[in-house]
A and B are shown apart, each in its own frame.
Chain A
Amino acid sequence: MAIIYAYQTDQLNSMVPEYYRTNQVRHVFKDCVNGSWVYEEPIQKISTELLSIQKDCAEFGWDGYNAAPISAPTIDYAKSAISQLTNIPQPELAPNADGEISFEWYKAPTQQFLFSIGEKGNISYAGRIGNERIYGNAQYLGTLPGIIEKTLSRIFGLTTPVVVLK
């Protein structure tokens, strides 16, 4: 039996498309940017991207300026941290000039959020919801600050997941 997690952003009674119910999909969410249904294996895709970043950004100055290399501990922390957020839209990953990795969710100039994590597990986060600015820092100790998921839920309007048993 497969469990489909479907997040409904605007229509509480909308149905999960037949395709996803018949293909043993583990995670489904509604793409809040273009309104389409998206199927992803989020963590697997992100892990692949993180390894690619590590390879591309292994040397000093990878950004054409003076960026610090992305280290293996940073990748490990990034992978662990993002695995805490399985029920959110896919983030856009980017290496930072200071050697950290950032996860970004961007919907509009006044609806955006980003957090970065470094090789010692230090987290910096900031975002905008309307005129409100949200920012802070924390130490990653196996769980992410609750404000990260809470802010993303506010931006994307995620509600309690609908669990469809097949």
Chain B
Amino acid sequence: MKDFSRFIFEGRHFSKERNRVKPTAFIPWSDSEASVAKIESLDENSIWQLGDDIGKLNRGKSSIARGDFNDSEVQAARLALKIAEPPPRHWHLIGWDISSKEKQILQAQELAPLAELHVR
């Protein structure tokens, strides 16, 4: 069981066949932070509900998959986690190299293979 999750709303950001989360699931846009959730001590239903709550904040979408990871794996990718409540359990994945996208891709390529894919 991992402690954090990045909820995925786009089918091309993961591969069920190859059981992997793709780097593009993590790379943020210009705000240089990616929304994630702390899922520690939650059961499966509660985790997915959390994802739906995040989706509702934006386009009302339901998450279709998620990539779970730990703080130590985030650090391995030279990234960090910062609490960003409300909503409850909302955190930001920060530390993206804002100087160039290619370096952000590299960071995501470090983290994505460590993430554990869960498909709804």
> Quick one: which of A84-125 are within 8 Å of B by CB?
92-98, 102, 104, 106, 108-109, 112, 114, 116, 124-125
Determine the chain B residues whose CB is within 8 A of the CB of A61 once the complex forms: 58-59
Q: Are B105 and A106 in contact (CB under 8 A)?
A: no
- Asked if A140 is at the interface (CB within 8 A of a chain B CB), the reply is no
- Asked if B54 is at the interface (CB within 8 A of a chain A CB), the reply is yes
- Asked if B31 is at the interface (CB within 8 A of a chain A CB), the reply is yes
Q: Are A65 and B12 in contact (CB under 8 A)?
A: no
The secondary structure that dominates the B interface is mixed
Q: Are A104 and B24 in contact (CB under 8 A)?
A: yes
Q: Are B31 and A137 in contact (CB under 8 A)?
A: no
Task: Tell which of B13-21, B39-47, B79-87 binds the partner.
Answer: B13-21
- Asked if B61 is at the interface (CB within 8 A of a chain A CB), the reply is yes
- Asked if A66 is at the interface (CB within 8 A of a chain B CB), the reply is yes
Alpha-carbon separation in the docked complex, A65 to B63 (Å): 11
What per-residue 1/0 map shows which CB atoms of B69-107 lie under 8 Å from chain A?
A: 000000000000000000000000000000011110110
Q: Are A135 and B20 in contact (CB under 8 A)?
A: no
Count of residues in B whose CB is under 8 Å from the partner chain: 34
Q: Are B102 and A136 in contact (CB under 8 A)?
A: yes
Q: Are A124 and B59 in contact (CB under 8 A)?
A: no
Count of residues in A whose CB is under 8 Å from the partner chain: 37
Besides A59-B59, A64-B10, 6 other CB < 8 A contacts? A62-B10, A92-B15, A94-B24, A98-B27, A124-B101, A135-B105
A-B contact pairs, 27 of them (CB 8 A): A33-B18, A57-B10, A61-B58, A62-B9, A64-B54, A65-B34, A66-B31, A92-B22, A94-B13, A94-B22, A95-B24, A96-B24, A96-B27, A97-B27, A98-B27, A98-B101, A104-B23, A104-B24, A106-B20, A106-B22, A109-B109, A126-B102, A126-B105, A128-B106, A133-B106, A135-B105, A137-B100
| B residues lining the A interface (CB < 8 Å) | 7-10, 12-13, 15, 18, 20, 22-24, 27-31, 34-35, 54-55, 58-59, 61, 63, 100-103, 105-106, 109, 113-114
| A residues lining the B interface (CB < 8 Å) | 33, 53, 56-57, 59, 61-68, 92-98, 102, 104, 106, 108-109, 112, 114, 116, 124-128, 133, 135-137
